[in-house]
Structure 1
Amino acid sequence: MVITEVSLRKFTTDVFLAMGCNAAHAQLAADVLLKADLRGIDSHGVARLTGYVRLWEKKRINAQPNIQVVHQTATTATVDGDAGLGLVTAPFAMQLAIEKAKQFGSGWVAVRNSNHFGIAGYHALMAVEQDMIGFAVTNASPLVVPTFSNERMLGTNPICYGFPAGQYPPVVIDMATSAAANGKLEIAQRAGNAVPEGWIQDKDGGYTTDPFALKSGGALLPLGSDRDHGSHKGFGLASVVDILSGVLSGANYGPWVPPFVAFLEPSANPVGEGIGHFVGAMRIDGFRPADDFKSHMDNWITRFKSASRIDEQQGVVIPGEPEYEAEIDRRQNGIPLVDAVVADLNEVAGKLNVSPLTT
C-alpha cells in the first residue's frame, strides 16, 4: 500500500490519542514517526507504532507523563520522562538544549525514565533548523554482544550528528553502533530474506544469515562484525552511547535496559529508570559566523561529491543525502507500507476503535 503523508499522519495521531495522549503529544509523536517514514527509514516509522501500543497496554508507557527537569546548570540538565513516550520526551529535552545553547552557546541534556525515541535524526535536526550542530544518542534493548562475547549486553545504540549547510541539505550522520539496526532484521523477516553474514551471530557465537536467529538465543554484532574487522570500535562507540544515555542520566544501562517488546519483562532488579537519551545543541556562531560555516560546508560537500570514482555510475554519497531525497519523493508520491505492517496497524486500530488505514 502507498499512503499519503496526510492520511498516515492522521491515522498515527488518532492512535496516540486513543492511547490517552493529549493533542500536542499525539501530534508530536506522530511527527517523529512520520519523519522516519518520509526519510526512508521504514524500520523506525509507523512500523513501530504497534510496539508502543502494546507497551502502553502493559502499562509500561505513560500516555500522560509529567516530564520534569530534575537537575540543571546553565548549560546542562537532566530530564525525567515519567515513563512517557520517548517520541515526546526527547524533543522536550532537545528544545531545552536549544534554549540553553541560544543563551550560553551550547546545551546538553540527559534523559532518564523514557522509552524508544524513534530516529535520532529527528532530534538532531531540531538543532540544525536553528543554525546549530545537533547531537542525539539513546541506549536501547540489549540485543548486541560485546566483542568476544555471546551475551547480549548493549542495544543498537544509535549516534546522530547533524550539521547545517547552505545550498545543500544538512549533513546528517545517523547510524546504529551495531553491524545492522534491529529494524533491518524485521524488514528481512517480513520479506522472508536472509541477512548478510556479519550482522548476527547464533547462540554459540557463530555467523548466521537467519534473520530470526535472535529468537533462538542469537545476537546482533557490533559495528565491524568481528575483532579482525574492528568490532571493538563498534563496541566502544556503543559503550559511549550507553554511558551518556544511561549511567549519566540515571536510566538503566547495559543488560538492564528494558526491552521494547511487550512480551519480554523488564529486569526485576533495575539499576536505573527506563531508557535513557542524551541530546545536545551547539551554536555555530559560538565558533565562527554561521554563514561562513555553511558556505564552507557547501564547499566540503562539493569537494567530496567530486571525488574520483571507482565506478563512474556511483559517486560519493554524502551522509543524509539518501534520506533527504527520499523525503522529497515520499512527500510528493506517498509512503509505501508493506502488507504485514498494514495488517498489524489495522489490527491495533480495530482494538482502539480507530479508522483503518486507507489509501
Structure 2
Amino acid sequence: MTKNLTLIPSEKMQEVLYKLFLKYKFTDAKAKLMAEVFADNSLSGVNSHGINRVSPFIKYVEEGLVKKDAEAVKVESFGSIERWDGNFGPGIINARICTNRAIELAKSHGMGLVALRNTNHWMRGGSYGWQTAEAGCISILFTNTKPNMPPWGAKESRLGNNPFIISIPRAGGHIVLDMAISQFSFGKINEYKLRGEQLPYPGGWDENDELSKDPEKILSKERGLPIGYWKGSALSIVLDMLATILSAGNSTSKIGLNEHETGISQIFLCIYPEIFHDQNLQEKLLNEIIDYTHNAEPIDSENKIYYPGERALQNKAKNLKDGIPVSKEIWQNVIELLG
C-alpha cells in the first residue's frame, strides 16, 4: 500500500457517512441508504464512485443542485413502461426507487422499463445491477452525462461517457458488467491522479490533441477516449438518444449548457428470467460460458481470466477483512465535513 493511502474498516466508513448525511439534514432512511451505497462502492474496490465522490456530492447539496428532500415520482404509465421525474433529488435515492420499480414491473409483466429524467449522478451504476441481480432479475441500465468525450474525429467534447450496466443473476456469483463508454471513467482517472500514477493505457487527449496517459492533462481538458474509438463514439450517441427520448428528459447537449452536471436522464430495464421456468438450464448455460472463458490460457501466467463482476466480489471479500484502501486526503476531507 502506498504512503498516501489509509485503511478504513467498512463499518467505520458507513458510520461516518451516515452521521455526515444526517448533519446535512437528510432523513434517517435516506442517510442510511446513501451511507450504505457509498461505502459498498468503496468496499467493492470502486473508490472513484464511492468515498471519493462524497465531498463533491456534499458541495452539490450545499449549492442546491441536489435537493435533499426531493425524490423521483411517476409521471406517466404505459403498462410495463413508465416515465418518472427525479425532481433533482439525490441520484442514489432516485436510482434505488426506479430500480425497485423496474423490478416490480418485470415480476408482473416479465419485463419492465422505467425512464427517469431530472435526476443527479447515481454514483456507481453497478450498484443497481447488483440490486437487480439479488432480486433475481436481468437488467440493462444506463445514463447520460455532461459532455466529456469528443465525437470520433472531433476536437470538442460533445458526447457523454454514458455508463452502461448489464447484470445477470447466477447462483454461483452474479454477472455484473459496469462500464463507462470512455476507456476510463473520469472518477477512475482522478483516482490515478490522487495516487500520482499514469494510466496503464491512453485515456484521453491532452492540450496538443495527442492521446495521453497523464491523468492531469486529460482532466484539464475533459476529453476522454471512447472505448473502441469510433464504435464507442457511436454507442455513446445512441445511449444518449434512448435515455433522452424514453424519459422525455435532457440530452447531453442540454446538460452541457449548465455549469454543473445535473438534470440527467437514466434508463432502468429489467427482465424476470423465472418466467421461462428453466432456471437449472440457465445456470448450466451461464456456467458453461464462464468455464470456457476461465479456461483460456492467460498471456501472463501470473494473471487470471475473470467474468464481469468477479473481481468486485474478490475486492469486497478482501476489503471486508483488511479494510478499504482510501486516499488520506479524501478521508481527511470527509472528516472535516463532519466537523
TM-score range, shorter chain: over 0.9
Secondary structure of 1:220's aligned partner: coil
**5 Å matches for 1:335-346?**
335-346=324-335
Secondary structure of 1:79's aligned partner: strand
- Which of 259, 262, 268 aligns to 1:265? It is 259
Does residue 222 (structure 1) correspond to residue 230 (structure 2)? The answer is no
> Over residues 76-95 of structure 1, what are the superposed CA-to-partner deviations in whole Å (9 max), with x where a residue is unaligned?
11111111111000110010
Amino acid of the structure 1 residue aligned with 2:244: G
CA distance in 1, matches of 2:118, 2:253: 16
Secondary structure of 2:238's aligned partner: helix
TM superposition shift of 1:214: 4.3
CA distance in 2, matches of 1:170, 1:155: 28
Residue of structure 1 in register with 2:282 after alignment: 293
- Which of 14, 23, 37 aligns to 2:42? It is 37
Does residue 57 (structure 1) correspond to residue 62 (structure 2)? The answer is yes
Secondary structure of 1:140's aligned partner: coil
Residue of structure 2 in register with 1:353 after alignment: none
Contact residue 71 and residue 90 of structure 2 kept, 8 A: no
Aligned length: 334
Shift of the 77–197 alpha-carbon distance from structure 1 to 2, 3 Å rule, reads same
Contact residue 213 and residue 219 of structure 1 kept, 8 A: no
TM superposition shift of 1:105: 0.3
Residue of structure 2 in register with 1:195 after alignment: 199
Does residue 175 (structure 1) correspond to residue 173 (structure 2)? The answer is no
CA distance in 2, matches of 1:218, 1:316: 32
Residue of structure 2 in register with 1:122 after alignment: 127
CA distance in 1, matches of 2:216, 2:135: 42
Contact residue 2 and residue 337 of structure 1 kept, 8 A: yes
TM superposition shift of 1:313: 3.2
**5 Å matches for 1:181-330?**
181-196=185-200, 198-214=202-218, 216-224=220-228, 231-257=229-255, 265-266=259-260, 274-330=263-319
Amino acid of the structure 2 residue aligned with 1:305: H
Amino acid of the structure 2 residue aligned with 1:177: I
Contact residue 212 and residue 218 of structure 2 kept, 8 A: no
Residue of structure 1 in register with 2:323 after alignment: 334
CA distance in 1, matches of 2:263, 2:250: 6
Does residue 107 (structure 1) correspond to residue 112 (structure 2)? The answer is yes
Contact residue 152 and residue 255 of structure 1 kept, 8 A: no
TM superposition shift of 1:215: 5.2
CA distance in 1, matches of 2:49, 2:177: 16
Give unpaired runs (5+ residues) of structure 2: 1-5
Secondary structure of 2:247's aligned partner: coil
Choose 48-57 or 287-296, whichever is displaced more: 287-296
Amino acid of the structure 2 residue aligned with 1:233: K
Shift of the 16–244 alpha-carbon distance from structure 1 to 2, 3 Å rule, reads farther
Contact residue 110 and residue 244 of structure 1 kept, 8 A: no
CA distance in 1, matches of 2:136, 2:283: 9
TM-score (norm 2): 0.92
Residue of structure 1 in register with 2:3 after alignment: none
Does residue 71 (structure 1) correspond to residue 69 (structure 2)? The answer is no
Shift of the 58–4 alpha-carbon distance from structure 1 to 2, 3 Å rule, reads same
Residue of structure 2 in register with 1:357 after alignment: none
Give the alignment's Cα RMSD to 1 decimal.
2.0
Secondary structure of 1:343's aligned partner: helix
CA distance in 2, matches of 1:197, 1:291: 40
Contact residue 244 and residue 265 of structure 2 kept, 8 A: yes
CA distance in 2, matches of 1:310, 1:19: 50
CA distance in 1, matches of 2:170, 2:43: 20
CA distance in 2, matches of 1:67, 1:218: 30
Contact residue 71 and residue 94 of structure 2 kept, 8 A: no
> Over residues 216-247 of structure 1, what are the superposed CA-to-partner deviations in whole Å (9 max), with x where a residue is unaligned?
435111113xxxxxx11111221232123233
Give unpaired runs (5+ residues) of structure 1: 225-230, 268-272, 351-359
Contact residue 189 and residue 212 of structure 1 kept, 8 A: yes
Contact residue 131 and residue 290 of structure 1 kept, 8 A: no
TM superposition shift of 1:49: 0.6
Amino acid of the structure 2 residue aligned with 1:265: E
